[in-house]
């Protein structure tokens, strides 16, 4: 069981696919939300996720930015499969996650599938909010403070529904 902690991470769009050659691991993810996180009265998102053959229940505070509270607990895989089929609000978000080490930091790169296909986002977890990791050349625009790039938002309004100006920010 994972203890409560504060997640500190930065989120970026990804340029090209050169990073795939550097990936040392990859895994399929399927996740869905058990509450309507778009409701402004909600203080958290509640997510069920299957990562390979393991499942978790995750609760995150609804703060957009560098850090937020996060709680994560292992649950039986069969329970997670049933929840994804019967309890989630909105579509299940599917992606392939890749792990890439660069300059002492582990980057998690999500290549989205289904209704979010075409979107590739990289995240790097940090020890504190002041840490400035060196950025690989495949990292593009930072989107840490843009809600639409968060999985919880992609479950409500998938990438396929975005306009050209949203898909190609300046």
What pLDDT does residue 1 have?
A: 41
What pLDDT does residue 109 have?
A: 98
CA 89 – CA 91 distance, rounded (Å): 7
Alpha carbon distances (Å) from 23 to 14, 51, 62, 88: 14, 17, 30, 31
Would you say residue 170 has pLDDT above 60?
yes
CA 151 – CA 62 distance, rounded (Å): 12
What pLDDT does residue 3 have?
A: 43
The domains of the chain, with CATH numbers, are 5-167 (2.40.320.10)
Mean pLDDT computed over every residue of the chain? 91
Region of residue 104 (phi > 0: left; psi between -120 and 50: alpha; otherwise: beta): left
β-bridge pairing 67-75 and 5-14: antiparallel
The β-bridge partners of 29 are 51, 95
Residue 4: pLDDT band (50, 70, 90) is very low
- From 24, 33, 102, 149, the catalytic residue: 33
| Residue with the larger pLDDT of the pair 101 and 169 | 101
CA 83 – CA 47 distance, rounded (Å): 10
Residue 165: pLDDT band (50, 70, 90) is confident
Residue 66: pLDDT band (50, 70, 90) is confident
102 is catalytic: no
pLDDT (average), residues 153-158: 91
pLDDT (average), residues 36-55: 87
pTM value surpassing 0.85: yes
């Amino acid at each position: 069981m994972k203890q409560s902690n504060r997640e500190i991470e930065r989120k970026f769009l990804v340029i090209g696919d050169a990073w795939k050659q550097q990936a040392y691991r990859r895994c399929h993810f399927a996740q869905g939300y058990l509450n309507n996180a778009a409701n402004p009265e909600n203080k958290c998102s509640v997510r069920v996720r299957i990562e390979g053959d393991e499942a978790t229940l995750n609760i995150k505070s609804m703060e957009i930015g560098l850090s937020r509270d996060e709680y994560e607990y292992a649950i039986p895989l069969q329970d997670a499969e049933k929840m994804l089929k019967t309890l989630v609000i909105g579509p299940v978000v599917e992606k392939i996650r890749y792990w890439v080490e660069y300059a002492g930091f582990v980057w998690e790169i999500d290549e989205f599938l289904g209704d979010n296909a075409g979107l590739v986002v990289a995240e790097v977890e940090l020890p504190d909010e002041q840490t400035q990791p060196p950025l690989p050349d495949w990292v593009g625009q930072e989107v840490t403070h843009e809600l639409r790039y968060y999985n919880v938002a992609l479950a409500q309004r998938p990438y396929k529904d975005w306009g050209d100006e949203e898909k190609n920010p300046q």
